[in-house]
A and B are shown apart, each in its own frame.
Chain A
Amino acid sequence: MADDRLIIAGREFKSRLWVGTGKYKDFVETQKAIEVSGADVVTVAVRRVNITDRSKDNLLDYIDPKKYTILPNTAGCYTVEDAVRYSRLARAAGVSDLIKLEVLGDEKTLFPDTAGLIEAAKILIKEGFIVLPYTNDDPIVAKKLVDIGCPAVMPLAAPIGSGLGIRNPYNLKILMESVSVPVIVDAGVGTASDAALAMEYGADAVLMNTAIAGAQDPLAMAEAMKYAVWAGRLAYKAGRIPRKLYATASSPIEGML
């Protein structure tokens, strides 16, 4: 798999599994899980620094920005204005123009507000950001995002943190065939088979957080996800057999008694 690199906006990524850094027990567990997963892209959120208790460690003391691509997100933003503001803050705090853009529609589903997403993406792209948009499994919206200059799209498999797996495989498949940029399936993966399936459908990468951090043994699940993404990718490249209703014997009839 060493030569099977993912390239987005001229940047090369070794791993097709991307991981979030939320919901872990502590930074040590976060660090270990990421290491075991083999991911080289990690998402982070932008929040106020705790100024009253400075004893708390910084996440970036545990995740070396030289080793990993830090992908800040606009998690928690429900308006175009907030998403743009957080993106600018992320760029000011970090080292790159990468942003995982989220404009959320409502608190119950955390589904993306795709109209707001397109509007925010336009503003940020004009400012030189490399916008990776968290979007719905809607092929038309994905095409619009690509048309305005997003170098990849990140459709959901299911609601964030739901663990429901791919709820609409046919839409996702149409989406993948509709756009010429990498597709990173983001959100909703529950277990290894979900990740493998996303890759088998032709996803270029999978991003997850809760499926690993929320597992009973996060480190074991991180490893499972690494192999699932590998297996799914290899199967996709290998090309599966067509589905048929009736049996086809694998053993020759010739030479039977």
Chain B
Amino acid sequence: MDETVRIHVNGDAKACRRGATVADLLQDLDIKTERVAVELNLEILDRAMFAHRALNDGDRVEIMSFIGGGSC
């Protein structure tokens, strides 16, 4: 079996170790979990679920955070 899963993170293709969770992905990307929201295939995940949701081939992950903004 292929040891990697191919996913999209914020629109970019990425390969992950099979069995890796959302929490593993964030750690791999050096992103602190407490300041981001993660959407997996359009479903927003609770932070508590990050360590329990394994990534599968074709998954689309969006990692969102706050940036400077007023209106528009």
Contacts and interface: CB of A to CB of B under 8 A. Distances in A.
B67 interface: yes
A209 B66 CA distance: 16
Contact of B70 (A23, A48, A89): A23
Given A51-B63, A89-B64, A58 B29 contact: no
Contact of B66 (A20, A60, A134, A213): A60
Contacts of B59: none
A59 B64 CA distance: 13
A87 B72 CA distance: 15
B63 A48 contact: yes
Given A92-B37, A93-B35, A161-B72, A46 B62 contact: no
Given A51-B9, A51-B63, A58 B35 contact: yes
Interface residues of A, number: 46
Contacts of B70: 19-23, 43, 73, 75, 160, 207-210, 213
Contacts of A164: none
Interface in A181-229: 186-187, 207-210, 213
The list of the 5 closest CB pairs from A to B, nearest first, reads A20-B70, A209-B70, A45-B69, A92-B37, A93-B37
